[in-house]
Amino acid sequence: MGQLTHVDDKGQALMVDVGGKADTAREAVARGKIIMAASTLELIQQNNVPKGDVLAVARVAGIMATKKTAELIPLCHPLMLTGSKIDFRFDPEAGCVEVEASVRTTGKTGVEMEALTAVSVALLTIFDMCKAADKEMQITDIRLVRKSGGKSGEFKREGEKLWEK
């Protein structure tokens, strides 16, 4: 485990000074899922949810969330993002929709929080749009899958596979 960077030597919160760091290409990928009844999953797959196209709205919500991360997470730096992509995968056997967010920038700090925020907000949007049909839905397994760039370099979560696009 490394040293915590968002606290000073007295244990007080601080925003890390990244001014002396070099700009590097950075990317982060996060995933999560929402478990639901088979009938709810079918409504989404058939684009039959009364509120509209669930995945289209969740995609836009996730992208918007990447741009708002610094407003939501107190010690995150506002970033100039170069890309944000949200993908979905249905898993009928597990009764879930999986969400993957890929976020990129060239800068002094990483985009892990932006990717995690995108996944979280996309999942919350799915919940919101489907809650009339299924109040038992469960959001779970939100995690960082991989990241690249910066001083700490590459991270790949063990056991995670690339999604076929």
Kindly indicate the confidence band of residue 158, based on its pLDDT and cuts at 50, 70 and 90.
very high
Task: Tell me the pLDDT of the chain averaged across its residues.
Answer: 92
Kindly indicate the confidence band of residue 12, based on its pLDDT and cuts at 50, 70 and 90.
confident
Kindly indicate the confidence band of residue 135, based on its pLDDT and cuts at 50, 70 and 90.
very high
Query: Which pLDDT does position 22 carry in this prediction?
Result: 84
**Which member of 17, 53, 91, 128 is catalytic?**
128
Cα distance between residue 18 and residue 9, in whole Å: 18
Query: Which pLDDT does position 7 carry in this prediction?
Result: 72
Kindly indicate the confidence band of residue 4, based on its pLDDT and cuts at 50, 70 and 90.
low
Query: In this structure, what token pair is assigned to residue 82?
Result: 């170069």
CB 130 within 8 A of CB 137: yes
The long-range contacts involving 68-71, CB below 8 angstroms and separated by at least 24 positions, are 68/117, 69/113, 69/114, 69/117
53 catalytic per annotation: no
Cα distance between residue 63 and residue 60, in whole Å: 5
pTM summary value = 0.91
Percent of the chain exceeding pLDDT 70 equals 96
DSSP assignment, residue 161?
Answer: -
What ranges make up the beta strands (E) of 22-161? 24-35, 81-91, 96-107, 138-148, 155-156
pLDDT over 90 (residue 13): no
